[in-house]
């Protein structure tokens, strides 16, 4: 099985997103089943945030992972920019750990740039790493300018990843952000890797590639997302059957011809573009 190196370990390049999960009790059992289906089929990365449902998603994750060996999972949460100060970040982290019923996170991310100076946030994250409460830290939704600033800061090069929106339509990061991260041997983490809409006349190309690989279009989109062997895709689904399908996308190896066909209808960026958000 393909694996990606991140934060000193290796993980399955397709993970589990939890946005909007754990918020409605009538869907709770179905959502728990979805996460556990993913884990049972080799998914290790589980991504959440203190913002999701004001902590309900983190509590949900804690419940979902309860039967499993914590050491075999890769847990990620995110701190709100307003909480990313030296004073507040440790409190936010402790609250997240309590909700998830764990004593450490594998990765803790700044959710997006905010009012607290990046240097202060980096220092707060490093302090928590030294305590053993997080194994590594990273960022989310930082564009090329923000990343350049971060990498110039003291200990900024310790950033483990940047989680951004990336899919066949939102490809802007390929022009400048992705090369910068590659320069620092930093894996990419992508949210919204599967665009949930019809592709009109372009759909035929994806359908043909999916048929060739005996796969679904969603599986092809995930396989495309992780094609460079240095990206972790974080799709979200609350249905076990969809999560199972997602887990199998790791076995699809798109050919050079497949990738060229996709590039023809969803071209690479030719200039710098604003970072795609949500």
**What is residue 34's three-state secondary structure?**
helix
The rounded distance, in Å, linking the Cα atoms of 196 and 192 is 9
Residue 191 annotated to the active site:
no
Dihedral sign for Cα atoms in the order 3, 126, 70, 240:
negative
The rounded distance, in Å, linking the Cα atoms of 82 and 136 is 20
> Cβ distance 225 to 51 under 8 Å?
no
> Cβ distance 81 to 110 under 8 Å?
yes
The rounded distance, in Å, linking the Cα atoms of 73 and 118 is 28
Out of 52, 108, 191, 266, the active site residue is: 52
Q: Cα dist. 79→9, 58, 121, 126, 164 in Å? A: 22, 12, 10, 14, 15
* Catalytic annotation, residues: 52
């Amino acid at each position: 099985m393909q694996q990606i190196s991140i934060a000193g370990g290796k993980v399955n390049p397709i993970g589990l997103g939890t946005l909007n999960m754990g918020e409605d009790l009538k869907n709770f059992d179905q959502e728990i089943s979805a996460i556990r289906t993913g884990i049972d089929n080799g998914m290790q990365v589980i991504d959440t945030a203190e913002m999701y449902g004001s902590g309900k998603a983190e509590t949900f994750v804690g419940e979902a992972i309860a039967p499993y060996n914590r050491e075999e999972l890769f847990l990620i949460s995110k701190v709100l920019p307003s909480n990313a100060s030296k004073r507040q970040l440790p409190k936010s982290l402790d609250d997240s750990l309590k909700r998830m019923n764990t004593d450490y996170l594998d990765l803790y991310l700044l959710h997006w740039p905010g009012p607290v100076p990046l240097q202060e946030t980096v220092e707060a994250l490093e302090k928590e790493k030294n305590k053993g409460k997080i194994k590594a830290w990273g960022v989310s939704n930082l564009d090329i300018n923000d990343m350049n600033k971060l990498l110039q800061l003291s200990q900024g090069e310790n950033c483990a990843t940047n989680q951004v929106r990336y899919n066949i339509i939102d490809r802007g990061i390929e022009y400048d952000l992705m090369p910068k991260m590659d320069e620092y041997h930093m894996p990419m983490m992508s949210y919204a890797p599967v665009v949930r809409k019809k592709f009109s006349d372009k759909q035929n190309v994806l359908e043909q590639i999916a048929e060739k690989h005996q796969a679904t279009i969603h599986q092809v989109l995930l396989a495309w997302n992780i094609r460079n062997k240095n990206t972790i895709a974080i799709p979200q689904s609350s249905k076990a059957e969809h999560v199972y399908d997602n887990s199998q996308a790791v076995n699809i190896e798109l050919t050079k011809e497949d990738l060229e066909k996709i590039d023809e209808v969803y071209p690479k960026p030719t200039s710098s573009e604003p970072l795609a958000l949500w």
